[in-house]
Structure 1
Amino acid sequence: MTKSICALAHKPGSTREAFQAYYEEHHVPLAIGHFPFSGYARNHLTGAADFRWDTISEFWADDIDAAAALMDGPIGKIMAEDEERFMNRPLIASAGVEEVILSRGNRAGSDGSRTAILVQGPAGGDDLRSRLMGWASGFARDLPGVSVDFTSSWTELAFPAKAVVWLPGWHEQCSVPSGLSAEILLVRHVETPRSRLLG
């Protein structure tokens, strides 16, 4: 199974709350009827008002590149028309992902709470990976459902992190290793049941 990730924002003149509601009530049913996803989750920001985006979506498929390529055809036209209703399309920032699962278990708390730690730097990719994996493994010793996404941007506007550390529950106070910069986001995780997906 392969994965992609996407940061999305509300259109000018709207609000984060209206964006997230429309996404769940209208856009999600449209998407799952057209794409062969084997997993689909939305992580809706609950704070961080100054963060540029409102939701970070996760997509899994047997071939995520093939699923993404559907946006170049008739399905893409349908989706784009709906996106125009609620989304700031120039701010779409998507990426392919190498997902590393460090501990098995629920991705979010029982109330849907989840933490996304968006990590940047240093410049060397190998150094980032080794330092980040060592740090994230410490969370995995104490928590289920810990994973790391290493991103490769697909869009002209880059995804806002080189890696994302995902933790179940809300963890506002996380000390970040020196040399790495990170933004800690508290989100509400909503995952579509596998039985409703085409993949």
Structure 2
Amino acid sequence: NGKHFSAGHDLKSGAPAPEKLTLEWIYTIEARRYLEYCLRWRNVPKPSIASVQGKCIAGGLMLCWPCDLIVAADNAEFSDPVVHMGIGGVEYHGHTWELGARKAKEILFTGRAITAAEAAQIGMVNRVVPLDELQGATMELAGQIARMHPFALRQAKRAVNQTLDVQGFYAAVQSVFDTHQTGHGNALSVDGYPILVQYDEMKKRLKSQ
């Protein structure tokens, strides 16, 4: 739907902020709205496929990364430019696992987007197809999966996810979420506002690149 997969966080959604913003409130809201949502979606028993076209920015990564498979149009671009805002990455740190350590550092340090071709080369997406073939290719893949034995599919998904967790994925995601919150804490201590208030500054810097 639309030209782009996701422009990032919906800054107008959710519960109204209290009169006095605290790190405790931000932590509680973000744990439920972002971290817990991503982990729930990652661990849902049924296979899931993200079909990505156009821009996939910051919070958009938290929509596609928890999916089991990603099919990308050839115009897809993936980025997490929130270092521009004074924080080390989005709430769900899939970067190191999805991109590898050095590429994760590159996109975080520079804020630049990686193309669909780059994402496929490093294994972040499963397939890259022409934009006008994206829906058909995604549905074809979904159809192939749907013909498989449902219990065996659940077992296969659980096996891969559990292997990643044994390697440290779950503990790392939880730990880096806490690190993310120190960015909000620093902004509150310096400016009196959480990081997302600096959204306009991030947009200005991105346009200058």
The structure having more radius of gyration, on CA atoms, is 2
State TM-score, norm by structure 2: 0.25
Higher relative CO (CA 8 A, sep ≥ 6), structure 1 or 2?
Answer: 1
Structure having the higher strand fraction is: 1
Which has more helix, going by share of residues? Answer: 2
